[in-house]
A and B are shown apart, each in its own frame.
Chain A
């Protein structure tokens, strides 16, 4: 069973639009929520991460919104560009545990059309 549920599985957005990817978790021990970006033929790379003491974190065009009571978090990509086309994974991690306790979502394949 997937401990971190991610949706949608795929997403097509026009250039300049907003891309939104959602994730939900059950385990309340999770307290670190990173997002990874993976280009074809490459390994995942950390994009942005959030801890539950804040409800939002912004880095450039990328924003994580976090809803602790609903146990949900989402990635928003503003002004989406063709270069953002990649697979995005959310993940959840219990800081009292370790990296081996990290759980990943199933991934969202984002295509940004020019």
Chain B
């Protein structure tokens, strides 16, 4: 039982490059979330999805796009990476809006 799996685990990008982070969950959860974690800031919600084909903005959505084409996958895209997007990104999923969410192991992204 893998739970929530994120790929890649590490990535270094040059400013202006694009990339996609993949999150996959095998728990049949409806809700999925993307967070970023920065020192002194805790976890901040970027985007989330309440089901296949849906997405919604969180606290800090600017500079990111997401897609949920399949229920088990939630993709986070950076179209033109900036140094301010250097962070650790976590994906999470939950059965519904009010139940506990489970986190992946994170992706450490550095934009130089």
A and B associate: yes
Residues of A within 8 A of B (CB): 2, 4, 6, 9, 41-46, 89, 95, 98-100, 102, 104-107
Q: List 12 A-B contacts (CB under 8 A).
A: A2-B41, A2-B42, A9-B40, A41-B106, A46-B100, A89-B43, A99-B33, A99-B99, A100-B33, A104-B43, A104-B44, A106-B41
| B45 proximal to A (CB < 8 A) | yes
Partner of B98, one of A42, A43, A45, A95: A95
Rounded to whole angstroms, the CA-CA distance of A65 and B84 in the bound complex is 36
Chain A interface helix/strand/loop/mixed: loop
Q: Do A42 and B106 touch across chains, with their CB atoms under 8 A apart? A: yes
Q: Do B90 and A98 touch across chains, with their CB atoms under 8 A apart? A: no
Q: Do A43 and B97 touch across chains, with their CB atoms under 8 A apart? A: no
Q: Which residues of A contact B48 (CB under 8 A)?
A: 99-100
Q: Do A98 and B42 touch across chains, with their CB atoms under 8 A apart? A: no
Extra contacts, 4 of them, besides A2-B42, A45-B103 (Cβ < 8 A), are A43-B90, A43-B92, A99-B94, A102-B45
Q: Which residues of A contact B98 (CB under 8 A)?
A: 95, 98-99
